[in-house]
Structure 1
Amino acid sequence: MKKQDKLYSTNSSEEKQTQAPSPKGFKMYWLYLLFLGFMIFFMFFGQTFNTKEIGWIEFEQTMLHTHDVEKIIVVNKEIAEVFIKSEKLKDPKYQNIPKGKFISNTSPHYIISIGSVDSFENKLQQAQKDFSPSELVDVRYVNRTNWWSTIVWILPFGLLILFWMYLFRGLGKSTMGGAVFNFGKSTAKLLDKDTKSTVTFKDVAGLKEAKKEVEEIVDFLKNPATYTKLGAKIPKGVMLVGPTGTGKTLMAKAVAGEANVPFFSLSGSEFVEMFVGVGASRVRDLFKQAKQKAPSIIFIDEIDAVGRSRSKLNSFQSNDERENTLNQLLTELDGFGTNTGVIVLAATNRADILDKALLRPGRFDRHIYLELPNKQERIEIYEVHLKPIKKAKDVDVQLLASLSPGFSGADIANICNEAALIAARKKQQAVFQEDFMEARDRVVGGLERRGKIISPKEKKIVAYHEAGHAIASWYLKNVDSLVKVSIIPRGKSLGGAWYLPEEHQIITKSQFTDQLCASLGGRAAEEIIFKEASSGALDDLEKVTKQAYTMVAYYGLNTKMGPMSFYDSTGENERFLGKPYSEKMAELIDKEVQDLINLSYEKVSKLLITHQKELEVLAKLLLKKEVVYLEDLEQILGERINETPINIAD
């Protein structure tokens, strides 16, 4: 709570600083209001300026012959303005003349559109041939500029200009420079002493070796003399590599919180834009800002977005914006310029696709690998994420860590949060061990769907399928210990067997083969009991096929193939459509994989036939209880002997 209060007060002080009173003076919005008012004025009152237009016949018969016309003014040789005598305006026929405060005494009463001046003069002369000289109407000719027509014509262009001014003004505020076309400026977020990250190295659990190396970088920035007096140079770059969720970004946040230097943070995708040259310009601007604030740190998350390896396949393109950005980044990291006091941190989970020039010493001197945590590290991670959770006394952190092998720090954080949500949904006062187990099952297998409608026949098939997995794994030596078996639909699966896995750095051939047999136990049980197989083993078959190909083609665990491996750690073969071996070798690989899977299937079928009675008892218990735990399994199958009864041939 104290950290939250501190963070809140910091944010409040930032808002006070950013909400400083603006200087007095002309504001742009006054121009918008003025223009809007001008438009409204002409929309509502512009019609009062419109004088009624009449034809020649009406003019001649109702006005000219009755001697009502005082004068005529021909404007621009196009329009004739008719002025009626003041004493004649009282006549009822002139009551339709517009009146108002915008109509002055000098305004015409009517207008006539004339084709040409000569024609108008001839008509007027013929109409007044019987008039006396004193009754002739005075005709004058003037040239005027029609401002209203000009305004109406310019109005759309004015609106368009104002719109673009408003749009560019917003774009200018959204970039760091504040200019209108500021696309080439860096979009990195700057963290300094006032906006320092609240994450420290204490919040990073596990990762002891990686944290130690990163702490040395921070110590170098704080105490450079300790290293420089011995001739050491500051590392230019540190690359954080590891699977997703292992804490790469968290480590960078801890560096930002511990190092009392400016910290620039951005993503690799922020360099790439649709405009040519923008990425390289942003790289230059980023390093320029970092040099001005040196010593400083630059953190580029997901650097593989811009640091992907340059290949010959892209050389046919006339211009590659990503490649230009990478070239500029390489130059800034280790070019002719100097970056004294600037350290670059980068994170990626795809180090295999990064350009070799980017990874060499002098650019990224240190490569720190963040692997998935082991059991002891998972215990530390659980303890960090359990601090804000109100947990019950029965919560066993050791057991939770044992049941989550291969889980990353993000997965563990998700389990803790999910357990708290489950306990809150149950209206409990604390989070119990049962809630954590349910959260783990949900994260691994998906949401439990008890309402999914399954026919009795399908439910029976699922029960024997899962019982087959359980029996096979119970009697096979190199399969993980079984914890429970369930036929409750969860996620996309209709059931599942849950194990307490052991952590292995290497896997032997016998372990691989036993795992193949256990995965095929469900399908074998269906054929033994129902004399036919179903489509429910799709996921098992996919896993078995991939694992068998891995054994034969990658790990060299086949006697006919010999100690050969076609695994490509560089990822270069992925760019080619062909395979790195001949058709004859491909046929041999396919045959050995097929034989391996068939032998495994025969082995597990013999095992299930031997223990068919236990298989049927366990399946019937599953149909009754839906979930069978370890205690029930031991009552049916006895204590686990961990012996493989039948050896598999190569």
Structure 2
Amino acid sequence: MVDKKNKPVQPKKPKFNPYWIYGGLLLVFIAIQVFGSSIGDATKTTPSQFFEFVRNGDVAKVVIIKNTRVAQVYLTTEAEQKKIHEKGKPNNFNLPGGNIPNYTFEFGDLQNFENELDNVSKDLQQKPEVGFKTESSTFGDLFLSLLPIIILVAVWIFIMKRMSGGGGGGAGGQIFNIGKSKAKLFDEKTDVKTTFKDVAGLEGAKEEVQEIVDFLKNPEKYTNLGGKIPKGALLVGPPGTGKTLLAKAVAGEAKVPFFSLSGSDFVEMFVGVGASRVRDLFKQAKEKSPAIIFIDEIDAIGRARGKNAMSGSNDERENTLNQLLTEMDGFGTKTNVIVLAATNRADVLDKALMRAGRFDRQIHVDLPNLTERKAIFEVHLKPLKKAEGLDVSFLSKQTPGFSGADIANLCNEAALIAARKDKKAVEKQDFLDAVDRIVGGLEKRSNLFSVEEKKTIAYHEAGHATVSWFLEHADPLVKVTIVPRGRSLGAAWYLPEEKFITRTEKFLDEICVTMGGRAAEKLIFGKISTGALSDLESVTKKAKAMVMIYGLNEKVGNVTFYDPAGESGFVKPYSEKTAELIDNEIKNIIETQYQRAIDLLESKKDILKLLAERLIEREVIFKDDLEELFGKSPFKNNNPVEVLEEKEEE
């Protein structure tokens, strides 16, 4: 066999396996048992025929084997020449010397057999010689004696393999290799196929990592000017935004080996294993440099040290982190090994891990904007059979706040819905149904409500819709439904604009809209229900954020008590007097907007009733129905909207 360059290629020799020895020994043992027992096999006969041979004087000797109740018959020389004993002649395997019997047979009771033999042979001039012996199998007895030891050794090997992570040949497969790294290596020539073309969106993040790619391709461009290799880059962002995919694309673009593993892969039940695996990982990477090490969910081992008072002084996780810090700070600047890590909890990472010289830069991978969502949709829509004229821009506007993983799930869910309805292609409505399914939950039309409950839910959702229609900073309303989905009994769906800052007026109008459902119940029925649980959770969270995080309350002032890392622990960062002020202001904001919603609904009571009655009749109404009842909104326009939310009722 020759390669492309016409050079002879030596065929690969099979690797030696110790199990071959075990198999060979087993075959030898079986051969000895089979052929050893077949050598000297004699012709079978019966006791009655044997006694007939004795009467004829043909038997020279009888050997009785006590432990098997078998008798071996040896004929005289003259008898062997008789035609009747042709079958009793020794076979080809018989050894010379007359040690092989001519016949064998089984007998019953030994005493009865001896008595019968004496009676038959008493009149003979030359009586048969009678002998006794006991047979045993040397190899069989040896095997039976060693069998318990073999079983114990096999069980021990099995347990050790399971404890060390299984696998026979790879690193970590044997008990002595438990400290080996579990990183999966993607070879640049065969495995790493992902490039930046496969990563839709993330334009800002791709620009930042492009420098890393350029360095791995042309390191001399930077080192000739005295620049140093960046040690690491930390990808930070919400779940599902494509951090792992971006790291793979970096390796694919740079065409270098890519070591991928999770932070939890360093954790093991044995002390010191995590640190050993870190050392082995960097050793492998330096041998294949230039290379990339990617550690996903690095917060599993990179949490700030000393925060957990319950842990002992010899915390295995801290030992692993210390070794990681040493390796990142220890290997030379010319090893061409770059560490990429991903986490959605950068606030809990140890400060020593984040300093310059280890993770030199943080790359924020945020949720995609409108343009990026459109690009992501185009990637995930390729394998689907789409209906002609499907507007990708419309889909991207309906899914603000969705991550790349959410969009992939949405496309798959739309295809499943279309298949469930026996359609030949996935249509626009299938995607809208998939959005409802993902955001609101599974539709539950099987829930049976009483007339009073259905009326209460209808007025509750009508209250949300009416208040939002007449407030300037409220989000545009899309539809209202009293069909239960997930935990909600009904919902008013909104599509607000995608903005990066929120003013006080926006917060207050949103709180007022959320309290509109409970306000409608109070206004129409004179009493309230437990259906507003999710509403109360939402408004409490928003009012608390206004007062404690964003500094949007005049009495509390321009201060924030936001503590993302949890460094304050159980100690409040404010006094008891300030705590009382915060409680009062949060309650005041909510109650003021609740009364504002009641006053607005009082002035719109007639159209509130009309909307509730139409909801009871149709269960789902859309923006066109609202315009028919309320008229054109004085504040809303029909510009593209980008965030999908819902006001739920428990």
- Coarse TM-score class (shorter-chain normalised): 0.7 to 0.9
Quickly say closer, same or farther: Cα 1:410–1:83, change in 2 above 3 A: closer
Does residue 390 of the first structure (1) align with residue 382 of the second (2)? no
The one-letter code of the counterpart of 1:22 is P
Quickly say closer, same or farther: Cα 1:534–1:146, change in 2 above 3 A: same
Q: If the length of structure 2 is used for normalisation, what is the TM-score?
A: 0.77
2:149 to 153, 157, 180: 157
2:545 to 544, 547, 550: 550
- Distance of 1:169 and 1:507 partners within structure 2: 57
- Distance of 2:523 and 2:362 partners within structure 1: 53
2:452 to 457, 461, 466: 457
- Distance of 2:169 and 2:535 partners within structure 1: 52
The corresponding residue for 1:581 is 574
Query: 2:168 aligns to what SS in structure 1?
Result: helix
Does the CA-based 8 Å contact 1:307-1:355 persist in structure 2? yes
The corresponding residue for 2:182 is 187
Query: 2:387 aligns to what SS in structure 1?
Result: coil
Quickly say closer, same or farther: Cα 1:518–1:312, change in 2 above 3 A: closer
- Distance of 1:339 and 1:331 partners within structure 2: 17
Deviation at 1:172, TM superposition (A): 5.3
1:607 to 587, 600, 620: 600
Query: 1:377 aligns to what SS in structure 2?
Result: helix
Query: 2:478 aligns to what SS in structure 1?
Result: strand
The one-letter code of the counterpart of 1:220 is F
- Distance of 1:467 and 1:35 partners within structure 2: 87
The one-letter code of the counterpart of 1:497 is A
1:618 to 611, 614, 628: 611
Deviation at 1:451, TM superposition (A): 2.4
The one-letter code of the counterpart of 2:204 is E
Query: 1:246 aligns to what SS in structure 2?
Result: coil
Deviation at 1:482, TM superposition (A): 0.3
Q: If the length of structure 1 is used for normalisation, what is the TM-score?
A: 0.77
The corresponding residue for 2:321 is 326
Map 1:120-131 onto structure 2 (within 5 A). Answer: none
The corresponding residue for 1:16 is none
- Distance of 1:491 and 1:471 partners within structure 2: 24
Deviation at 1:35, TM superposition (A): 10
Map 1:426-505 onto structure 2 (within 5 A). Answer: 426-505=421-500
The corresponding residue for 2:14 is 22
Quickly say closer, same or farther: Cα 1:24–1:598, change in 2 above 3 A: closer
Quickly say closer, same or farther: Cα 1:544–1:157, change in 2 above 3 A: same
Query: 1:635 aligns to what SS in structure 2?
Result: helix
- Distance of 1:174 and 1:627 partners within structure 2: 61
- Distance of 1:630 and 1:343 partners within structure 2: 53
Deviation at 1:341, TM superposition (A): 0.5
The corresponding residue for 1:139 is none
Quickly say closer, same or farther: Cα 1:572–1:24, change in 2 above 3 A: closer
The one-letter code of the counterpart of 2:620 is V
Quickly say closer, same or farther: Cα 1:226–1:156, change in 2 above 3 A: same
Quickly say closer, same or farther: Cα 1:174–1:587, change in 2 above 3 A: farther
Structure 1: runs of 5+ lacking an equivalent: 1-18, 42-69, 71-79, 88-103, 111-143, 644-650
Query: 1:405 aligns to what SS in structure 2?
Result: coil
Map 1:561-600 onto structure 2 (within 5 A). Answer: 561-573=556-568, 576-600=569-593
Quickly say closer, same or farther: Cα 1:568–1:318, change in 2 above 3 A: closer
- Distance of 1:156 and 1:314 partners within structure 2: 49
Does the CA-based 8 Å contact 1:553-1:566 persist in structure 2? yes
Deviation at 1:392, TM superposition (A): 2.2
2:506 to 502, 511, 520: 511
Quickly say closer, same or farther: Cα 1:547–1:35, change in 2 above 3 A: farther
The one-letter code of the counterpart of 1:259 is A
The corresponding residue for 1:634 is 627
Query: 1:343 aligns to what SS in structure 2?
Result: strand
Does residue 219 of the first structure (1) align with residue 214 of the second (2)? yes
- Distance of 1:469 and 1:363 partners within structure 2: 51
Map 1:112-511 onto structure 2 (within 5 A). Answer: 152=144, 154-165=146-157, 168=160, 171=166, 173=168, 175-176=170-171, 179-311=174-306, 313-314=308-309, 317-335=312-330, 340-511=335-506
- Distance of 2:167 and 2:414 partners within structure 1: 46
Deviation at 1:423, TM superposition (A): 1.5
The corresponding residue for 1:528 is 523
Structure 2: runs of 5+ lacking an equivalent: 1-10, 35-61, 75-99, 102-106, 109-135, 637-650
Does the CA-based 8 Å contact 1:405-1:502 persist in structure 2? no
The corresponding residue for 1:65 is none
Query: 2:261 aligns to what SS in structure 1?
Result: strand
Deviation at 1:166, TM superposition (A): 5.2
The one-letter code of the counterpart of 1:580 is P
The one-letter code of the counterpart of 1:161 is V
The one-letter code of the counterpart of 2:559 is M
- Distance of 1:590 and 1:83 partners within structure 2: 101
Deviation at 1:429, TM superposition (A): 2.1
* Cα deviation digits, residues 496-526 of structure 1 (max 9, x gap): 1111111121111111111111011111111
Deviation at 1:402, TM superposition (A): 2.0
- Distance of 1:31 and 1:169 partners within structure 2: 24
- Distance of 2:469 and 2:274 partners within structure 1: 58
Deviation at 1:397, TM superposition (A): 2.3
* Cα deviation digits, residues 424-468 of structure 1 (max 9, x gap): 222222222111111111111111222222222221111111111
Query: 2:447 aligns to what SS in structure 1?
Result: coil
The one-letter code of the counterpart of 1:159 is I
Deviation at 1:415, TM superposition (A): 1.3
Quickly say closer, same or farther: Cα 1:35–1:267, change in 2 above 3 A: farther
The one-letter code of the counterpart of 1:579 is K
Quickly say closer, same or farther: Cα 1:24–1:402, change in 2 above 3 A: closer
Query: 2:545 aligns to what SS in structure 1?
Result: helix
* Cα deviation digits, residues 460-510 of structure 1 (max 9, x gap): 111111111100111111111001111111111111111111112111111
Query: 2:302 aligns to what SS in structure 1?
Result: coil
Deviation at 1:568, TM superposition (A): 1.3
The one-letter code of the counterpart of 1:250 is L
Query: 1:173 aligns to what SS in structure 2?
Result: coil
- Distance of 1:270 and 1:590 partners within structure 2: 45
Query: 2:445 aligns to what SS in structure 1?
Result: coil
Query: 2:294 aligns to what SS in structure 1?
Result: strand
Deviation at 1:394, TM superposition (A): 4.2
The one-letter code of the counterpart of 2:152 is L
* Cα deviation digits, residues 104-146 of structure 1 (max 9, x gap): 99xxx99xxxxxxxxxxxxxxxxxxxxxxxxxxxxxxxxx999
The corresponding residue for 2:640 is none
User: May I ask how many residue pairs the two structures share in their alignment?
Assistant: 558
- Distance of 1:572 and 1:284 partners within structure 2: 31
The one-letter code of the counterpart of 1:284 is R
* Cα deviation digits, residues 584-630 of structure 1 (max 9, x gap): 22122111111111111111011111111111111111111111011
- Distance of 1:172 and 1:398 partners within structure 2: 49
Quickly say closer, same or farther: Cα 1:506–1:174, change in 2 above 3 A: farther
Deviation at 1:562, TM superposition (A): 1.5
